[in-house]
Structure 1
């Protein structure tokens, strides 16, 4: 289980060098934008924005939070088997889409500083847990998904870009 300091609600942004990631978009530094505002303003998250909108989760993720979102990039969605994204966006698959997307969201704030150097579990809105490993010089989720950009701070939480789509068990 993650240590208690994982439950901090005061996100601390790391510098790009400390996070081992690319520079954070300027809109993220404003801290007045919600998680949804940041995603909409980030071209590499357009597939996620479409999915969140189709799943009816945009209003929730614009709410007060705090949330931590492990956000798959467009390339992460593109790496799924052909037709997967299109299938998930169909109205008859909405429950599955919601399950997948809420598996990427924690109902608490987990800045990288709270994870680096530790291993543990992060609860998700979906009801399951993500296995987080911050002991290898970065942060890995579920043994194979990497945080590529950490600590994009929003007014209602923190976003970490990841290189693959996390699938619930």
Structure 2
């Protein structure tokens, strides 16, 4: 009887843990618990390794692990790979830290912006775009097309949000398929 109760309790606990994990978004094959900060989650994602290396090279780890709140538009590895050959290697060199920091901070907003908030703000705009600024000071715009959210940099280049609303302890991450470049 005692063994049955223990087994039943273990099965119930596993079921509860599985149900809780079902609500945790997966990015790059790794669960992204909302109790972790942006950095703690990003280092777990196989598809964000280039972004993590860039954040480390720019000495932005402490900033993105701080209280926030932040919204991060996180480019996947393929987005960095689509840049002209040698760009990432050049940016990761110590002498290019200022340029790398400018690019990375153009992906960060000092506000917790859910996809629903971004979509609502596009609907209430006169031109169909939600215009806002990144931490870098660069202008960003969001637009909804075909049910997808696109983020535009100052040059008009668009990156589509592929995974939205990855809540973090210090904000939210939206995974994107492009790199936003400041002018």
1:87 match: secondary structure:
helix
**Structure 2 Cα separation of the partners of residues 132 and 98 of structure 1:** 22
Q: CA deviation at 1:24?
A: 3.0
Question: 1:93 aligns to what?
Answer: 96
Q: Hey, what does 1:154 align to over in structure 2?
A: 168
Equivalent positions of 1:81-120 (< 5 A) are: 81-117=84-120, 118=122, 119-120=129-130
CA RMSD of aligned residues (A): 1.8
Q: Secondary structure at the match of 1:85?
A: helix
Between Structure 1 and Structure 2, whose CA radius of gyration is higher? 2
- Give the match for residue 59 of structure 1: 62
Moved over 2 A (4+): 23-27
Give the Cα separation in 2 of the matches to 1:24 and 1:46. Answer: 15
TM-score with structure 2 setting the length: 0.76
Preserved CA contact (<8 Å) 1:69 1:159: yes
Deviation per residue, 1:38-58 (Å, 9 max, x gap): 110111000000000000000
TM-score by length of 1: 0.82
Query: Which structure features the higher share of helix residues?
Result: 2
Distance (whole Å) between structure 1 residues aligned to residue 69 and residue 31 of structure 2: 18
State the alpha-carbon separation in 1 of the partners of residues 42 and 61 from structure 2. Answer: 10
C-alpha deviations, 1:81-114, integer Å up to 9, x for none?
0000000001110000000000000000111010
Report 1 or 2 for greater relative contact order, CA contacts < 8 Å, sequence distance ≥ 6: 1
Return 5+ residue gaps in structure 1 as ranges. 1-15, 17-22
